[in-house]
Amino acid sequence: MRKKKQLWDVFPHQPHDRYARSVLGIPKVASDLIRLSVPSAIFGRIDMSTLTLGQESFVDEQMAEHLADVCYTAQSKNGSSVRVNILFEHKSEQPYTAVYFQFLRYIVQIHSSELKQNRKVSVVIPILLYHGSQPFRKEPMEDLYTDYSEEFREAIPHYNYYVADMSHLSKDEYLAVTSAMTVLFIKALASGGNPDFVMHSWREVCNFAATNPLTGFETDFVVVTAMYFRKISPYFNKIILGPMVNENEILAEQQIRNAFTPENFGLMLQRMDNLGEYLEEALEKGKKEGMEKGKKEGMEKGIEKGREDARASTISTFLHKMPDMPDEEAASLFDVTVDYVKNLREKMKAV
């Protein structure tokens, strides 16, 4: 089986996939996602103190185009082995029903590996991490076999997978989250490529880093979040990273790790506050200048309209008293076009 690499250099996927794959390797985050997705009856039977990140991947090359996996092992409370596999599906729309078969192939590969090693097969709990724009709808597997009668249902493969819908968590689900990193992870994924959201999310990460002791996992989380924002937001690169980060990802990760030390986060927050104040002042100044310009332009337009109305009224009064004067003569007298005079006469007839 292919060995997994650490942190950012993990999978040739899109930045969202790679970021999720990196953060899911943090047991505190994985534990929260397991709690959010599986039924309480199952979660209550898993001894979470035994949760251990595995080093194997059971996603083959074809599956790797769609899924990034993180495999944890744990013991049930009666001592039997459990594999908890978190599969990250990065789609902005509802995944296809074929996801059942992707997961089924994944489960078969796990069991095949266990049997080859003369190990007892374990229960596999597949979890789909989803953050599409629409709430996730899981269709029953039986719906894929609607052309078959009830007698054939026994031949249908039966298994279940569980979903952590990151974009549509309820208040109670948020309250169930125990790690600040999980909350920040959810917000970071939701940031997408929006510069405003990215900067707000990064400020919360800085607050977390400045107010919490950074162990290995916490440091890793901050680093990979910065690497993720580096990939999706040119604005983040310009304002936060500047010219200090190398194009090479391995070197960039090391530079970020060296620069983002606990003592530097207070300075970074101050810098972001100063930047925020500057942008707010610039915005207010822009609004004020825009209003003044609008008032000036409005007054000028009003004066011009008043002048035009007065001229039209004067000419109309004259034409009313001199109805037989030719249009050409009236136009020459008031220094206007012949069409202007003709339009005034038409308006006078309509009144």
256-312 pLDDT, tens digit per residue, is 777 777 666 766 666 666 655 544 554 455 556 666 666 666 656 665 666 677 677
What confidence tier does 12 reach under pLDDT thresholds 50, 70, 90?
very low
In a domain, 147, yes or no: no
Q: Which of 238, 260, 282 is the last residue of a domain?
A: 260
**Six token digits for residue 153:** 């249902």
Same domain for 231 and 167: yes
Which pair of structure tokens corresponds to residue 144? 């894929």
Report yes or no on 176 lying in a domain: yes
302 in the same domain as 217: no
Mean pLDDT across 127-140: 81
Same domain, 236 and 324: no
Answer whether 72's CB lies under 8 Å from 84's CB.
yes
185 pLDDT band, cuts 50/70/90, is very high
Q: In terms of domains, do 313 and 346 share one?
A: yes
pLDDT at 5 > cutoff 50? no
Range 206-232 burial, b when 16+ CB lie within 10 A, else e:
bebbbeeebeebbebbbbbbbbbbbbb
* Tokens 């003569």 -> residue: 329
Residues 124 and 203 in one domain: yes
Do the bridges between strand 123-130 and strand 162-165 make them parallel or antiparallel, or are there none, so unpaired?
parallel
Tell me which residue has tokens 């035994």.
50
Residue % of the chain over a pLDDT of 90: 7
Amino acid 116: pLDDT: 92
Could you say which of 236, 260, 284 is where a domain stops?
A: 260
Which helix (H) or strand (E) segment holds residue 347: the answer is helix 338-350
Query: Is there a domain that residue 116 lies in?
Result: yes
Rounded to an integer, what distance in angstroms lies between the CA atom of residue 199 and that of residue 213?
22
Looking at the predicted structure, is the pLDDT value of residue 146 above 60? Answer: yes
In this structure, are 98 and 50 located in the same domain? yes
Taking only Cα atoms into account, the Rg of the chain, rounded to an integer number of angstroms, comes to 33
Range of the domain at 303: 274-350
The answer to whether 86 and 127 have CB atoms below 8 angstroms apart is: yes
pTM: 0.68
Residue 41: what pLDDT? 92
How confident is residue 118, by pLDDT bands cut at 50, 70 and 90?
A: very high
Residue 117 lies inside a defined structural domain of this protein: yes
Q: At what angle do helices 15-23 and 180-191 cross, to 10 degrees?
A: 180
Token pair in block for residue 38: 């599986």
Is the pLDDT at 113 greater than 50, yes or no?
yes
Question: Is the same domain home to 36 and 166?
Answer: yes
Question: Does residue 134 lie within any of the structural domains?
Answer: yes
Task: Name the residue type at position 32.
Answer: D
**Whether residue 330 sits in one domain with residue 304:** yes
Cα(338)–Cα(330) distance, rounded to whole angstroms?
8
What does the alpha-carbon distance between residue 98 and residue 103 come to, in Å, rounded to a whole number? 9
CA 153 and chain centroid, separation: 40
Q: What's the mean pLDDT in 199-225?
A: 85
Same domain? 168 vs 291:
no
Q: What is the pLDDT of residues 31-62, one digit of tens each?
A: 999 999 999 999 999 999 989 888 776 666 66
Same-domain check for residues 325 and 303:
yes
Question: Measured between alpha carbons, how far is 231 from 235 in angstroms, rounded to an integer?
Answer: 10
CA angle 158, 60, 58 (to 5 degrees): 60
3 falls within a domain: no
Tens digit of each residue's pLDDT (9 = 90 or more) over 222-267: 888 988 888 888 777 777 776 556 566 777 777 777 777 766 676 6
How many structural domains is the chain composed of?
Answer: 2
Strand locations in 18-80 (E): 46-53, 68-76
Taking a C-beta distance cutoff of 8 angstroms, is the pair 249, 287 a contact? no
DSSP state of 12: S
- Give me the pLDDT at residue 315, please: 76
Q: How many residues does the chain have?
A: 351
Q: Do 72 and 132 have their domain in common?
A: yes
User: Does residue 88 form part of some domain?
Assistant: yes
Are 247 and 282 found together in one domain? no
Question: Which one, of 19, 270, 33, lies nearest residue 162 by Cα?
Answer: 33
Is 249 within the bounds of a domain? yes
